[in-house]
Every structure is written in C-alpha cells, then in structure tokens.
Amino acid sequence: MKARYVYWQDGDMWLGYLEEFPDYWSQGTSREDLQDHLKDLYQELTAGAIPNIRRTAEFEVG
C-alpha cells in the first residue's frame, strides 16, 4: 500500500502531511524520519484513534 505526501525542508527540519489528511502535519530530522512519523500518523488516522478527521476526496464534474 502507498500513501502520497507533501513535504518540504525548513532549516534543519523536514515538514510534511499526507495528501488525504492535509490538516495533520508532522516533522522529522530527515526525509526518512519524516516518512516514519507520517506512517505512524497514518496508522492513527485510519484506526479511528483521532475523532472528527477531515479528509480530501475528488469527483467528476463533467
């Protein structure tokens, strides 16, 4: 299984969020560390551990 994420470097830290859950950001000391944190966050978000989660979705308009 794969999950897409958005990331950027700010000084010494790497910041990012999962595309499906843009309200929930994480950070790491390297890109690999950020990915580890995002994996943990994904597990929490999809396991129902966090209530009232907002998600993104798409649909056809034409």
What is the count of structural domains for the chain?
A: 1
Residue 25, SS3? strand
User: What is the pLDDT at residue 62?
Assistant: 86
Q: Is this structure's pTM higher than 0.75?
A: yes
Are the C-beta atoms of 38 and 14 separated by less than 8 Å? no
Does 59 reside within a domain?
Answer: no
Q: Please give the helix or strand (H or E) that residue 26 lies within, else none.
A: strand 25-28
Does 60 reside within a domain?
Answer: no
Using the predicted structure, report yes or no on whether residue 23 has a pLDDT greater than 90. Answer: yes
**Best CA proximity match to 27, nearest among 13, 11, 40, 48:** 13
Does 24 reside within a domain?
Answer: yes
Main-chain dihedrals φ then ψ at residue 8, nearest 5 degrees = -160, 160
Residue range of the domain that includes 39: 5-46
Q: How confident is the model at residue 59 (pLDDT cuts 50, 70, 90)?
A: very high
Using the predicted structure, report yes or no on whether residue 21 has a pLDDT greater than 90. Answer: yes
